[in-house]
A and B are shown apart, each in its own frame.
Chain A
Amino acid sequence: MTEIADVTGSADILVRQAEKFPVAPYLRTKRSSRGIMGDVCIALVPALLGAAYFFGMRALGLAAASVAVCVLTEYVWQKLTKSPVTVGDLSAAVTGILLAMNLPVTTPYWVVISAGIFTILIAKQLLGGIGNNFVNPALLGRLFVMLVWPGRVMQYVLPGSAGTDAVTSATILGSIKSGGENPYSYWEMFVGAIPGSLGETSKLLLLVGFAYLCYKGAVNAGAALIYTGTVAAVTFVLGPQGLFTGDILENLLSGGLILGACYMLTDYMFVSRKGKILYAVTAGVLTSLFRIYSVYPEGVCFGILTANCLSGAMSSLYKRHVYGVDRTYKPL
């Protein structure tokens, strides 16, 4: 009776065994996994070029190294485990770009390479591989280097001062956390002439890419908007000088908030439409609380990762109505 119960092969083998000809439906969407991931890559190009402009060509070198390591690790791992090679999906490449964008330009190459290997091997493949990761691999990779080599990945420099005489500078959030003032105007923060990780300084270029993704229909902007809105609201209410004193624009334009909202939070997650709202709000509240109360200046990474971990529970909160099933009926 359970003749396929012990079949562990992939789905296509199963279909081929069962059916001589392709199975219905015979019309399929033109969208493909590779197309979607390719669009994400394209969307990240403006921010990458911006990074090269602000921090010098080393930024591109780091990104290239990160992508190469991620793709290679995935390829070798899948060859070794004799599983289908999925590097053609470009998802490893996207992870590589996002990982590089999360690191400052001063990061040594060997740190990037270790981070890439960790990201793909541990955070992606060992946690299930594409489609089964419950957390964003790039964010977990960033968390990994942040905890293991904090000194190596927190040396932020001023844009335009790359090289041997680089001027180390705290990020805006960092200097505010340590009681300092924010010396940059909102415009500078928006365009990206501020110290920070490779891909998170220029909000303008990130948003350009995000607009492209929305236009292509690859992402739903709703979650990103709710997330940033929540962060704005919470950081405003719990401001540094008491209730309702937060600087909304400063909080929106500093750190990796826009990068996280546009490219990490919207990473595909099985959460129902209503569940997505809860998911985005949770991530927003957590991000704000980490920003305000933790020892780290930035909370995006922690906030989204925690929300990632909670997404399974959240999707079970909202049961979709199945046709013909009584709305009050509870399945096991």
Chain B
Amino acid sequence: MFRKIKGVFPGGIHPTDGRDKLLTYNKPIERFRMKEPGPPREYELKPMDVSEYKRHQLLELLEESGLVGMGGAGFPTSIKYKTDKDIETVLINAAECEPYLTCDFRLMVECGPAVVNGILLLKKAAGAKCAVICIEDNKRKAADILMKITEGLPGVEICILPVKYPQGGERQLIQTVLGVEVPMGGFPADVGVIVSNVATAKAAADIVFGHEKPVSRVVTVTGAVSRPANYLAPVGTPLKDLLLESGGVTCRDNMVIIGGPMTGKCVAVNWHEEDLGQVQLTTSGLVVIQGKGWDVRPCIRCGACIGACPAGLSPINIETAYLKGKWDICKGLYASECISCGCCSYVCPAKRELAYHITEAKNMLKKRRDVKQ
């Protein structure tokens, strides 16, 4: 069943034209240093009956497995689902609004039934009435596949979201799908919602039905590489090996980024086969972007950052206060509510490092609050 969106979040950007996703859009997931799969098991073919599982059983299984959110933040799933709040809805975050990444999309296309089973389990684990799979409009193919699988399943809906970054931000997702805002300082559970990444759902199905620990994940290796691809790789695989498997970088001035290009972290510039760290459960991508950083210029007060902020903040004012060390002003300007999406830095014509500084300010405010307590 399709569900209509109930809201829009302010601001937001369209960082690329979407062609970047096409690099890996139609390429099947390749197995990297994984043993060949056996014949597909039942849960990988059709939706299962989850009524025999009790909520506490599932929570125990999740806790034992040590599963963490695979969207990027890496919050332990069992703790998230153990909430004593009444959960109405589980939102399955398949927006994948980060440019370049297609790992979640390929997962939905290739492992649809397992994903749906995982969603049924998470719904049960949360004690929720319904689960909504949230997919951006540019990934209709995945939506259609999941639609076919979930046909006739009560309490599983699919919501097609407008294409806009950061559509997949937890709070923005809730705002779009349910039309409500998570109160300041609160959690989604406060408004009866739990948000989980679609890869987390698939992992939950593997844990419960497949009796497998979450020890592998799909990683998108793309950007300025010879052979962009999605790899199913074991946790702990050196990222360097993945990059070499993709044929290495194709341009001189490059930045190697773990995660998406908007919120990821640069681990190397002008890569020459040095170590990049390892695949973790939260590693969604390895993206190589051409470029070598930016010259920071003085602000020209165009106000673009204010218009782009999905949280409704005034990034430049917070940055100014941060650079002067005025913590009380940072607090008064709600630096604590920054979601570090990077929209402000993206739109800034003076190339100021707004998102970086505001995130620093947010961390500093948190530190100060913790010290006081």
User: At the interface, yes or no: B265 with Cβ under 8 Å from chain A?
Assistant: yes
Contact B266–A24 (Cβ < 8 Å): yes
- Binary interface profile of B, 121-149, with partner A (CB < 8 Å = 1, else 0)? 00000000000000000000000000000
Contact B332–A331 (Cβ < 8 Å): yes
A253 to chain B, nearest CB (A): 29
Partner of A22, one of B175, B293, B368: B293
The chain B residues found within 8 Å of chain A, CB to CB, are 9, 15-16, 99, 171, 175, 181-186, 255, 257, 261-269, 287, 289, 291-303, 306-307, 310-314, 316-317, 319, 322-325, 327, 332, 334, 337, 340, 342, 345-353, 355-357, 360, 367-368, 371
Chain A 245-279 interface residues, beta-carbon cutoff 8 Å to B: 268-273
Contact B353–A320 (Cβ < 8 Å): no
Contact B302–A268 (Cβ < 8 Å): yes
Contact B334–A325 (Cβ < 8 Å): yes
7 A-B contacts, Cβ less than 8 Å apart? A22-B266, A26-B255, A27-B99, A31-B349, A270-B317, A323-B310, A323-B337
The chain A residues found within 8 Å of chain B, CB to CB, are 1-2, 4-7, 10-12, 14-15, 18-19, 21-29, 31-33, 35-37, 84, 86, 89, 91, 129-131, 268-273, 320-326, 331-332
Known: A320-B306, A323-B312. A25 touches B357 (CB 8 A): no
Chain B at the A interface: SS class: loop
Task: Give the residues in chain B near A25, CB-CB below 8 Å.
Answer: 15, 261-263, 342, 345-346, 355
- Which B-chain residue is minimally distant from A327 (CB atoms)? B181
CA distance A14 to B322 in the complex (A): 11
A22 to chain B, nearest CB (A): 4
Task: Give the residues in chain A near B317, CB-CB below 8 Å.
Answer: 270
Q: What are the 3 closest A-B residue pairs judged by CB atoms, nearest first?
A: A5-B325, A25-B342, A131-B299
Known: A27-B15, A325-B184, A332-B332. A91 touches B300 (CB 8 A): yes
Contact A21–B312 (Cβ < 8 Å): no
Contact A23–B349 (Cβ < 8 Å): no
CA distance A23 to B259 in the complex (A): 13
Task: Give the residues in chain A near B186, CB-CB below 8 Å.
Answer: 324
Contact A10–B296 (Cβ < 8 Å): yes
Task: Give the residues in chain B near A22, CB-CB below 8 Å.
Answer: 255, 266, 269, 291-294
Task: Give the residues in chain B near A326, CB-CB below 8 Å.
Answer: 183-184
Task: Give the residues in chain A near B316, CB-CB below 8 Å.
Answer: 270
Task: Give the residues in chain A near B269, CB-CB below 8 Å.
Answer: 21-22
Contact B293–A268 (Cβ < 8 Å): no
Contact A7–B325 (Cβ < 8 Å): yes
Not counting A22-B266, A33-B298, A324-B337, a sample of 18 additional A-B residue pairs whose C-beta atoms are within 8 angstroms of each other reads A21-B267, A22-B255, A22-B269, A23-B355, A23-B356, A26-B291, A27-B15, A32-B351, A33-B300, A89-B300, A129-B298, A130-B299, A270-B301, A270-B316, A271-B303, A323-B184, A324-B171, A331-B334
